[in-house]
Chain A
Amino acid sequence: MPGPASQPKVRVVTFRVDDQDLSAREDETLIEVCREHRIPIPSLCYLEGLSAWGGCRLCMVEIVGQPRLAAACSTRVVEGMEVHTDTERLRRYRRTLVELLFAERAHVCSVCVSNGHCELQTLAQRCGVDHMRMPRRAVSYPVDSSHEMFRVDHDRCILCTRCVRVCDEIEGAHTWDVMGRGSDCRVITDMAQPWAESETCTSCGKCVQVCPTGALVKQGTSVGEMVKDQHFLPILARRRHPR
């Protein structure tokens, strides 16, 4: 959508992140500013170029004076705010969140096509997840291998909805969506039909490239061979929606 003819004037604000003085436009989010300044904040649902969804809660930060944690992807910078991105409490929360993701479905890295190139696996290593403190849910989710080029393995899906957003916001096909609640929740193609039968899918493969795990992969790949390339996304996003 083209923007309005005259843009309102955007102010610049100054604030502190981890004892570092920073300034940014007031319409920027914390995660955008932190990434720009190479302050590491983990995230699995946020991806530059897509709208923020705030689902994975891994980008939580502490804001001085606020008792609740805030998701950096959904929080705009405010004049004078003081933010901490790496505290003991945040590390504990993040580790627990990653463990819960592993407990929810069957993430078995050693046999996964994304082994070694998986955002969930990398994050687990960074968070020090060397074992699980909660029992795994031994529920099997189906694999849809009907598409000629791609495959979806719901056992490896963390419901980050990157596929849903990239398909809607960048490709404009809106093939992917989310169905069901709680542990029955899963991503679907069109009206929950096999991927090969989807009438809207253009087989562009953007969903596969943005998927952080081995849930969406190319057919014909063996263990550890699925390497994803997300460089296209910010470029396409700028062309589709110039600021």
Chain B
Amino acid sequence: MSRTITIEPVTRIEGHARISLQLDDQGEVADARFHLTQFRGFEKFCEGRPYREMPALTARTCGICPVSHLLASNKACDHLLSVSIPPAAERLRRVMNLAQLAQSHALSFFHLSSPDLLLGWDADPASRNIFGVMRQHPELARDGIRLRQIGQQIIETLGGKKIHPTWVVPGGVSEPLGAEQRDAILGLLPEGLEIAKRTYDLYKGLLPRFRDEATRFGNFPTLFLSLVSPEGRLEHYDGLLRVKDAEGRILEDQVPPHEYPRLIGEAVEDFSYMKFPYYKPHGYPQGIYRVGPLARLNNADACGTPYADVALAEFRMLQESGPVSSSFHYHYARLVEIIYALEMMERLLRHPEILDTRVRARARSNRDEGIGVAEAPRGTLMHHYRIDETGLITWVDLVIATGHNNLAMNQSIRQVAAAYVDGNSLNEGMLNRVEAVIRCYDPCLSCASHAVGQMPLVIELRDQRERLLDRLERTCQS
């Protein structure tokens, strides 16, 4: 008799999702699916709005990575204006993007994933959260909170607000950077870099413990998509698209971002509100690819900053040859990127022209279609707009970073469920591993991130006639 296990909601991710595991007659996992259960409708309700409102409107997609949407949207608007923005504005936008990368990666690693890594997959769910980490590893928890605070403070110093700043505008930024603000940010960076390096070393020491997970947590060949700089280096703000295959062969390189529709198609499945992007030349679903920190490090020839390049060399040693294929190593890649972000911010802020007061190009719309692509913490983010002759939006397509990983996330939970879940004797730790592989991707399913420990988790085992066979419950913690 085949049965279905449902994990709902998936905890310690940003947003609302459900996982269903289909068991066969022998109680082994036959199929697994990741369902996005929320519908937002941004692409529809933005229609009819003036294009200059798009950065603020689309930034509301997310409260964790609003800066990514702000940047991709403003880049799409820059494209509509047909301007190249002043160099100081570009550097400032880069700093803000890297600050967000650092704080978002810190959230993913310390707040959401470190409970599994430090306390164990089978630890009591009541304490398997950031508060449990605070009790057992107070230094690490403090580091995580401080690193996130540093990232948020930099965003606030630049944009006036920690969340949803409006300082980035079509054509550049609204205000130049003052010397005092620059020095304030520079003063935060050394402490951040110390924390990042300390955490990186700690994680390297823990890694041998996770040999089993590393081989089974989303470890399969896929393509990798990311931006790289014109020189092939790690890139988060601008640059060109690169696609690498599982053997490390470059399939596409130096592709201007506005040509993304040539590379990427979007499929729809009836079990999820999230679209299923795929690499067009390989078709659906063979065109499975991954984005985000793992893909960026796999695709980049180098980081371009000293410590991050050392870490990148160590990252490459995780795999004997070719790109690192296990999604478990998203965690590793995230830590390398935090180091890179802090080093690169320092370099950008020490540039002699960073205080230049020319930070905005002014123009009106000069074309009817605009595409903006940037690397969000979770991967390549694409905003694509069409406007009418008066500048009102007629069509919107947002290809969200988490969406790119949809096929890979589904395949990952199939792999983990097949390896760890035994339908004949369910336990919570098994299912936590299924959730944990999703956390590797740090999916950002909306701006809603629920308070840790507040969320009830119910796992029900039902047969085909929906009869309840088994039930596990994690109750609300006050």
Contact = CB atoms under 8 A, between A and B. Distances in A.
Interface string B32-51: 00000000000000001110
Interface string B167-189: 00110001000000000000000
Interface string B123-148: 00000000000000000000000000
A223 B164 CA distance: 11
B27 interface: no
Contact of A222 (B52, B164, B391, B392): B52
A220 B171 CA distance: 10
Interface in B350-399: 362, 364, 390-392
Given A111-B56, A220-B364, A225 B50 contact: no
Contacts of B364: 219-220
Interface string A185-202: 000000000001000000
A146 B390 contact: yes
B323 interface: no
* Residue among A151, A221, A222 with most chain B CB within 10 A: A222
A110 B362 contact: no
B57 interface: yes
A142 interface: yes
Contacts of A223: 53, 55-56, 166, 169
A145 B53 contact: no
A171 to B, nearest CB: 23
B392 A143 contact: yes
B242 interface: no
A7 interface: no
A194 B469 CA distance: 65
A222 B170 contact: yes
Nearest to B165: A223
Interface residues on A, range: 20 to 34
B164 A110 contact: yes
B169 A222 contact: yes
Interface of A: 110-111, 113, 115, 140, 142-146, 151, 153, 196, 219-225
Main secondary structure of the interface of A (DSSP, over half): loop
B127 to A, nearest CB: 36
Contacts, number: 46
Contacts of A219: 364, 391
A225 B56 CA distance: 12
B56 A145 contact: no
Nearest to B389: A146
B332 to A, nearest CB: 37
B391 A145 contact: yes
Nearest to B391: A145
A145 B390 contact: yes
B368 to A, nearest CB: 13
B49 A221 contact: no
22 contacts: A110-B56, A111-B53, A111-B56, A113-B52, A113-B53, A143-B48, A145-B50, A145-B390, A145-B392, A151-B50, A153-B50, A219-B391, A220-B362, A222-B56, A222-B170, A222-B174, A223-B53, A223-B56, A223-B169, A224-B166, A225-B169, A225-B174
B60 interface: yes
Contacts of B60: 110-111
Given A111-B56, A111-B60, A113-B52, 9 more contacts: A110-B56, A145-B50, A145-B390, A153-B50, A219-B364, A222-B55, A222-B56, A223-B55, A224-B166
Interface of B: 48-50, 52-53, 55-57, 60, 164, 166, 169-170, 174, 362, 364, 390-392
Contacts of B52: 113, 220-222
Contacts of A142: 48
Contact of A140 (B48, B174, B362): B48
A219 B369 CA distance: 19
A237 to B, nearest CB: 32
A222 B169 CA distance: 7
A222 B170 CA distance: 8
* Residue among B49, B53, B57 with most chain A CB within 10 A: B53
A146 B60 CA distance: 27
Contacts of A110: 56, 60, 164
Contacts of A220: 52, 362, 364
Contacts of A146: 390
Contacts of A225: 169, 174
Contacts of B170: 222
A145 B53 CA distance: 13
Contacts of B49: 143
Contacts of B390: 144-146, 196
A131 B57 CA distance: 21
Nearest to B164: A110
A115 B56 CA distance: 11
Closest 10 CB pairs of A and B: A145-B390, A111-B56, A222-B169, A223-B166, A223-B56, A146-B390, A111-B57, A145-B391, A222-B52, A145-B392
A220 B170 CA distance: 9
A218 to B, nearest CB: 11
Contacts of A144: 390
A79 to B, nearest CB: 52
B214 to A, nearest CB: 42
A153 B50 CA distance: 9
B317 to A, nearest CB: 46
Contacts of B56: 110-111, 222-223
Contacts of B164: 110
A163 B390 CA distance: 22
Contacts of B53: 111, 113, 223
